[in-house]
Amino acid sequence: MRGVKVSLFGFGNVGKAVARVLLEKERFFRERYGIALKVVSVADTSGVVWLPEGIDLQEVLLVKETFGKLSAWTNDYEVYNFTPEEAVEDIDADIVIDVTNDRNAWGWHLAALREGKAVVTSNKPPLAFHYAELVGEAEKRDVPYLFEATVMAGTPVIGILRENLLGDTVRRIEAVLNATTTFILSRMEQGRTFEEALKEAQSLGIAERDPSGDVLGIDAGYKATILHCVAFGPITFREAMVKGIDGISQEKVKEARSRDRTVRLVAVVEKGKVIVEPREVSLDSPLAVESHENAAVIKTDLLGELAIKGAGAGLKETASGVVSDVIKAALRIA
């Protein structure tokens, strides 16, 4: 049995979902992979709980759910006021998990890699702006830097492009990478205005209070940028051409439907080119997704066309990608 020490950064909904999977499937991971994961620290914005012998995940989940923040926990554990940089340097761990929304996390990702720690992340901006430095540093040090959950949640489109199809040359990727815009566009097809559909998405918790990241195509743009980096080499979000769904009229959406087509926020990725914009797709295309599904169509020289479709959002679904990467990293470093 290989013991692997894990530092978890981010303890919102995704972080809690990851902790729950690590807790509930601990025996499965021991039996199937011979890996015993030990979470030595958990951090939210209020503080860092750190216990080198391993934190009781059931307890830390209970504290978070009861008090809303880790700093309220004063009984058995010390809560530290580390910055993430300090934490990745001071806390002895094999794998650092970043499931925060910290836009500046690339700095402490780099710090972790320089310490020889594997990094697993669902956090998009570090990759969308600093892919070359991060992956370069990881390769130089031969340390895993894994980010399956940044694109299409746990649906393994990154794994397919990064570790499979190794003999193929990718020509083009078309994908629907944002579920909130799919929800809004579906509702508009059913007769709602953009504003009504957005309000409904917000009241259901599908869109955030500030929906601009989804609606303006920024979230899809980050993801498309990451797909470009993996399939064609480094590029940054600044070079992506992104147009959101905010300018789309209900008439246009309904009219497309009357021609057996549907408007989706589509990402098109080719060498040197990242485009995100609303496009019509045929109803029998894999890109005509509904609900929280994402889809990608990958075109290559040998295989031709490959379509993958699966969850693009959701807590368990995102935890799926994070935890798969944690196991992958654990198997590589052990």
Q: Contact with a copy of itself (CB under 8 A): which of 102, 214, 300, 313?
A: 300
Identify which of residues 54 and 314 has a Cβ nearer to a copy of itself in the complex.
314
Q: Are 120 and 146 in contact (CB under 8 A)?
A: yes
Q: Pick from 113, 286, 287, 313: which binds a copy of itself (CB under 8 A)?
A: 286
Which positions ≥6 away from 35 have C-beta within 8 Å? 1, 2, 4, 29, 327, 330, 331, 334
In one-letter notation, the amino acid at residue 3 is G
Reported in sequence order, the residue ranges of 77-161 that DSSP labels E, i.e. its strands, are 79-80, 95-98, 118-121, 145-146
Which string of x and - marks every residue 154-173 that binds a copy of itself (by CB under 8 A)?
Answer: xxx--xx--xxxxxxx----
Binding mask 103-142 for a copy of itself (x = CB under 8 A): ----------------------------------------
**In angstroms, what CA-CA distances link 78 with 41, 72, 73, 89, 134?**
10, 11, 8, 18, 32
Q: Does 25 bind a copy of itself (CB under 8 A)?
A: yes
Q: Which two tokens stand for residue 120?
A: 């697993």
Would you give the binding string for a copy of itself spanning residues 230-269, x where CB under 8 A is met?
Answer: ----------------------------------------
Q: Does 223 qualify as catalytic in the annotation?
A: yes
CA pair distance 326, 315, nearest whole angstrom: 16
- The one-letter amino acid code at 20 reads R
Catalytic choice (223, 243, 252, 309): 223
CA 171 to chain centre: 24
Minimal CA–CA distance to 120: which of 133, 104, 138?
A: 138
Of 5, 16, 257, 328, the one binding a copy of itself (CB under 8 A) is 328
Which residue numbers are catalytic? 223
- Binding residues for a copy of itself, per CB under 8 A? 21, 25, 28-29, 33, 148, 153-156, 159-160, 163-169, 286, 300-311, 314, 316-317, 319-320, 322-324, 326-328, 331
